[in-house]
Amino acid sequence: MSITLPTKMQFFRFAPPGGSLPELIAGLVFASVPGVLTLYLLQLRADQAIWVNLLILLLCGILYSLASIRSGRRFEQQREKVVQSIL
């Protein structure tokens, strides 16, 4: 935790900077699900864990790509608004 500047502390950017506590907790839980699922599968089915882990990795990669595309579009719209306000 940041003692000198507690307002600048952002929970590893799992939620927007102005987000509420439930959003932060949901972000932390959502980010932990792949790791917890991997550990669970290693304990339950060690022989099939590699294929399921590859599926989890693929799913996480797809979700990351979709989130990046969505946030990139939002960033582009905000940039255009700033340019229009300057002109």
What token pair was written down for 69?
């595309």
pLDDT band of 1, cuts 50, 70, 90: very low
In the prediction, which pLDDT does 58 show?
A: 94
What would the mean pLDDT of 64-81 be, rounded to a whole number? 80
Q: Which residues contact 2 (CB under 8 A, 6 or more apart)?
A: 8, 9
Biggest distance spanned by C-alpha atoms of the chain: 62
21 — phi, psi (to 5°)?
-60, -40
pTM of the model: 0.55
Express each pLDDT in 9-68 by its tens digit.
Answer: 555 555 556 667 777 777 777 778 888 888 888 888 888 888 888 998 899 889 888 888
